[in-house]
Each structure stands twice: as structure tokens, then as C-alpha cells.
Amino acid sequence: MGMGSGDVITPLIIGIMLGGLYALIALGLSLIFGVMRLINLAHGDLVILSSYIAYALLTYLGLDPVLGLVISIPFMFVLGFVIQRYLLGKGFAVSSETPLIIAFGISLVLQNLNQILWTPLSRGLNTSYSRMSFFVGERQFPVSYLLDFVAGIVVMLALRAFLTKTYMGRAITAASQDKRAAQLMGINTNRVYGYAFAIAMGSAAVAGTFLGMTFPFTPTSGISFLTIAFGTVVIGGLGSMLGTFFGGIILGVFQTMGGYLFGPASQMLIVYVLVLLILAIRPKGLFGR
């Protein structure tokens, strides 16, 4: 698509819906950074691991990917708790850089594990509905994009409600603002970190599933989605689920509108120029506190 071809509304709507997927991927990254000040370099690969779990459930058990969340969310939740408790938690005791290296190690292990298990060929979650289209007037959109957007809103609202309405959620927020004061309030911060990571991984399970219904994926796809999640979090600002959601939407819209105006080759360039500008002008992010 070059400049002026087609209407401007279609890429705008696609950008908003895709933004829901980007937000979905970034919510877990944002939560972990907000609570533990850790850039989880394995986040993209953990999302892709979830895509493969959904793929395995669909291929071998014939389980619909959305229904498969009943298995993949608890699995990723427990995996997240274990990773925090037995890998990252030990790293934090050594130094603040150690968990970063550990996360990088997890990323490499997952990529290679997925290569061995699934070969480097690209896979996708093909269901009866994910390749369907829906119409808004004359305009045609993939159903999977709409599902991404809905899933993004649902997970964002669920995380927000959890963080503001439950004891564990408030404890996660408190520990992210002042660890020592949180401890003095009787909060077991190690346990809170475990739950925060587990919940972030639960949201990664949802992200991986909807990602797999939208785009083909390979064992190394995690890196590009980690980059998109970084961009989302930079735009939206860390610590706020709502901010991360809008960050995803803005990134999605800049990507599709950039592609519409300047051609598909420059769409991600537009996005990362935006990310750099925000880092320079407003490093807290547009919605950051």
C-alpha cells in the first residue's frame, strides 16, 4: 500500500485492534518491571512458549485454543512462580544485574527447546473462526484481530481489578512502590514477587494463544514480540495497566498508519522513531506516573 491508496479508516481500525494484541503481550512485561524492576528478556519467548502449548493442545488433543487457556494459564502461572522462586529470586540475592542474565539464559533455552520440539518451521493456530472475516459497512477485517482487541481489554481490566481490589494485588502494588515499607506491613515480598511473576505468565499464556491465532510463529519469534512489548511499555509508561493498554493501541495505530502513509517497509521504523522520541521527551511514558 503506497500513499493515498485505499481509505484511511481501515488501517486505523486494524491498528487499534492489533494494538490490543500488543497490549496483551506487554501487560506481563509491564507488571514484572513495575514490581521487580526487572526487564524480563525472556518475556517474548515465554509468550511464544504459550503459543506452542496452544498449538500442541490443538494438534494432539483437538482442543480449541481459547478453551485450551484452561490448561495453559495454570501451567504458565505455576511455571512463572517456579522461575521466580528458584531462578530469578536466587539471582536477586546476588545482585540486581544477575536476574537480567538469568532471564537472557531462559530466553536462549526456550528458543532452542522450541527448535528441537517443533523445528524452525513456522506454525499457526488455525481454527474455523480465526481465518474468518467480519464486515463493518464495506470494510472487511479478520475476526482474529477483533478477538485480540477483546482479549486485550479483558486481561487489562482483570489485572486492574486484581491489583486494586484484592489483598495480593494491593500487596504487589505496595511492594512495587516501597519494598521496605511493604515488608513492615507484614507483606512477604518474596511470595508477592512469585505471585506477580506467576500472574504475568498467566497473561503471557493468553497473549501467546491470541498471537498464534493472528500471526504465524517460529521458535525465534519471541524477540520481535519482546521488542514490540518494549515499545508498548515505553509509550504507555510502566506500572499502569491502563497506560500499557493505550501504549499498545498507539503503537498499533502508528504501525498501520505508518505503513499506509509510507509503505509497509517503513512501518516499524515509524514506530521506533516514536519510541525514541517519547524516551527523549517524556521518559515516564505518556501515561506514566
Partner 1 sequence: MIDDIVLKIDGIDVFHGTFQSLWNVSLEVRRGEMLALIGANTAGKTTLLDAISGILHPTKGTIEFQGKNIGGLDPYQIVELGITQVPEGRCVFSDMTVLDNLIIGSYAGSARRKRAENLKTVTDLFPKLAERKRQVAKTLSGGEQQMLAIGRGLMADPKLMLIDEMSLGLAPIVVDEIFKALAKIRARGITVLFVEQNVHRTLKEADRAYILETGRVALSGTAADLRDNAEVKKAYFGIDACEVT
Judged by the rule CB under 8 A, the positions of this chain that interact with partner 1 are 164, 167, 170-171, 173-174, 177-178, 180-189, 289
Q: How many CB atoms lie under 10 A from the CB of residue 130? A: 20
Q: Which residue lies nearer to partner 1 by CB, 115 or 177?
A: 177
Give SS3 for 42. Answer: coil
Least distance to partner 1, CB of residue 196, Å: 15
As given in the structure block, the three cell numbers for residue 172 are: 504487589
Q: Which residue lies nearer to partner 1 by CB, 113 or 168?
A: 168
Q: Which residue lies nearer to partner 1 by CB, 10 or 183?
A: 183
Least distance to partner 1, CB of residue 239, Å: 8
Q: How far is it, in rounded angstroms, from Cα 2 to Cα 248?
A: 24
Least distance to partner 1, CB of residue 180, Å: 7
Least distance to partner 1, CB of residue 178, Å: 5
Least distance to partner 1, CB of residue 65, Å: 36
| Residue 87 burial (C-beta neighbours within 10 Å; 0-12, 13-18, 19+) | middle
Residue found under cell 502461572: 77
Instruction: Say if residues 260 and 8 touch (Cβ distance below 8 Å).
Output: yes
Q: Which residue lies nearer to partner 1 by CB, 189 or 214?
A: 189
Least distance to partner 1, CB of residue 89, Å: 14
Q: Which residue lies nearer to partner 1 by CB, 59 or 164?
A: 164
Q: Which residue lies nearer to partner 1 by CB, 15 or 239?
A: 239
As given in the structure block, the three cell numbers for residue 213 are: 491465532
Instruction: Say if residues 176 and 12 touch (Cβ distance below 8 Å).
Output: no
For 129-194, what is the HEC assignment?
CCCCEEEECCEEEEHHHHHHHHHHHHHHHHHHHHHHHCHHHHHHHHHHHCHHHHHHCCCCHHHHHH
Q: How far is it, in rounded angstroms, from Cα 53 to Cα 281?
A: 40
